[in-house]
């Protein structure tokens, strides 16, 4: 609440400052040197070298979109939140790196370095739920994806917790 109040107070002041400077005819702005010319390419704000066409496949484009659209926190199960998902379309596989956190009520259960206070028997089900969510979400982007070639890596605070490949979940995290 305090953040929003602060933004509501500060934002009008920030927006008003440039307008005041324009009205006064602020001469402190740097004028471009007389010999310089602005780029005439596609992007007015970049040199012409940025106009070159990039060569990538539709799979690459979809992976880029999937990464961009999933670079925010979203609840994926009763215990887990995905903070971001990175999709990499390699020739031999589609690699999905998912970065996880525990829901607020369960944060104390993670001890760091891949260790949990949960019983070891609960971890496979928790991570399989995350892998299943990612599989289903991935099929929204790649409708014809053959899951045999999908690799899902689940990370938490820099540690690899589990990976899913060839229809098998391999849990690396440790419970008590």
Q: 31-45, 58-72, 113-127, 130-144: lowest mean pLDDT where?
A: 31-45
Residue 76 is assigned to a structural domain of this protein: yes
Band the pLDDT of 153: cuts 50, 70, 90: very high
Number of separate domains in the chain? 1
Please give the structure tokens belonging to residue 34: 């007389």
Write down the pLDDT at residue 55. 87
145 in any annotated domain: yes
Question: Residue 165's domain spans which residues?
Answer: 58-171
In a domain, 78, yes or no: yes
* 39 within some domain: no
- 136 assigned to some structural domain: yes
Burial class (CB in 10 A: 0-12, 13-18, 19+), 62: middle
Q: Is residue 125 assigned to a domain?
A: yes
Judge whether 5 lies within some domain: no
Rounded Cα distance between 123 and 127, Å, is 6
Q: What is the mean pLDDT of residues 51-80?
A: 91
Rg, C-alpha atoms of the chain: 24
- The answer to which of 1-15, 50-64, 138-152 has the lowest mean pLDDT is 1-15
The CA distance from 15 to 153, in Å, is: 44
């Amino acid at each position: 609440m305090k953040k929003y109040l602060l933004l509501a107070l500060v934002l009008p002041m920030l927006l008003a400052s440039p307008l005041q400077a324009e009205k006064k005819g602020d001469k402190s702005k740097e004028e471009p040197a007389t010999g310089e010319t602005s780029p005439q390419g596609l992007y007015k704000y970049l040199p012409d070298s940025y106009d070159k066409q990039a060569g990538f496949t539709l799979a690459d484009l979809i992976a880029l979109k999937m990464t961009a659209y999933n670079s925010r926190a979203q609840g994926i199960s009763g215990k887990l939140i995905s903070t971001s998902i990175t999709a990499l379309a390699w020739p031999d596989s589609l690699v999905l790196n998912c970065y996880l956190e525990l829901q607020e009520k369960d944060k104390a259960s993670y001890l760091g370095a891949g260790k949990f206070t949960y019983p070891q028997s609960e971890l496979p089900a928790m991570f399989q739920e995350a892998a299943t969510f990612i599989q289903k979400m991935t099929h929204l982007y790649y409708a014809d994806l053959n899951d045999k070639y999908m690799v899902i890596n689940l990370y938490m605070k820099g540690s690899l917790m589990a990976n899913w490949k060839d229809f098998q979940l391999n849990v690396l995290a440790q419970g008590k």
